[in-house]
């Protein structure tokens, strides 16, 4: 949608918008086109941004979720540092304890709401795989060039790509088993109403 049209629409409904002055309020355009929106609500100019953190997930204007992947990898790396302090090469924590700590403290940082940003670019997935590989190598005291696939198998840890598929499948099953009056049903009905009959049949 063109920026001028957005300004016109917001201007028309501005009297119905309950707005409180909050520095967290932002405006963002989605899509490949970069435009400037001069949005003013109740005399306050709203800052336009290219990405925003919403419900602990970074959302960018291109909906690529690459920034969210980098954010998740950063949080997981910081969590790994805390565990690495307990590891001294092949000494310290046992591999079993290290794997348990990885699954409880580190992996959740990479998996938080991942079903919503699983469409990230391949380099985002590679980044998460790199974090998992570094953590498992440190836990087992393996060399830096040890194969990630072999480490995953020895540690009995699901590879990142398969893990993402598992979590997305689980979320899908949860949505599909919701009652008929749920949001899933309403979205399904709305899709049928907006789809031409030729495509539905």
Alpha-carbon gap, residue 7 to 180, rounded angstroms:
37
Q: Please provide the size of the chain in residues.
A: 201
**Structure token digits, residue 154:** 């020895």
The answer to whether 7 and 39 have CB atoms below 8 angstroms apart is yes
The partner residues of 114 in beta bridges, in order of sequence, read none
The reported pTM is 0.73
Indicate the domain borders of the chain: 3-49, 65-176
pLDDT < 70 stretches in the chain: 1-23, 33-34, 88-92, 180-188, 190-201
Q: Tell me what pLDDT residue 33 has.
A: 66
Q: Residue 181: helix, strand or coil by DSSP?
A: coil
CA–CA distances in Å: residue 130 to residues 126, 137, 141:
6, 11, 16
Q: Tell me what pLDDT residue 70 has.
A: 95
Taken in order 93, 98, 104, 105, the sign of the CA dihedral is positive
Q: pLDDT of 89-114, one tens digit each?
A: 556 678 888 899 999 999 999 999 99
């Amino acid at each position: 949608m063109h920026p001028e049209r957005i300004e016109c629409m917001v201007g028309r409904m501005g009297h119905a918008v309950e707005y409180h002055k909050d520095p967290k309020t932002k405006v963002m355009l989605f899509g490949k086109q970069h435009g400037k929106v001069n949005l003013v609500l109740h005399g306050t100019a709203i800052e336009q941004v290219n990405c925003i953190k919403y419900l602990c997930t970074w959302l960018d204007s291109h909906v690529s979720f690459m920034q969210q992947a980098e954010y998740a990898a950063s949080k997981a790396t910081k969590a790994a540092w805390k565990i690495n302090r307990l590891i001294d090469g092949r000494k310290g924590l046992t591999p079993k304890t290290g794997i348990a700590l990885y699954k409880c403290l580190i992996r959740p940082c990479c998996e938080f709401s991942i079903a919503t940003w699983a469409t990230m670019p391949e380099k985002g997935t590679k980044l998460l795989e790199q974090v998992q590989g570094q953590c498992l190598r440190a836990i087992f005291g393996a060399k830096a060039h040890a194969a990630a696939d072999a480490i995953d198998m020895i540690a009995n840890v699901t590879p990142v790509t398969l893990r993402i598929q598992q979590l997305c499948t689980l979320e899908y099953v949860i949505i599909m088993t919701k009652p008929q009056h749920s949001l899933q049903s309403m979205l399904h009905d709305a899709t049928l109403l907006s789809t031409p009959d030729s495509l539905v049949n």
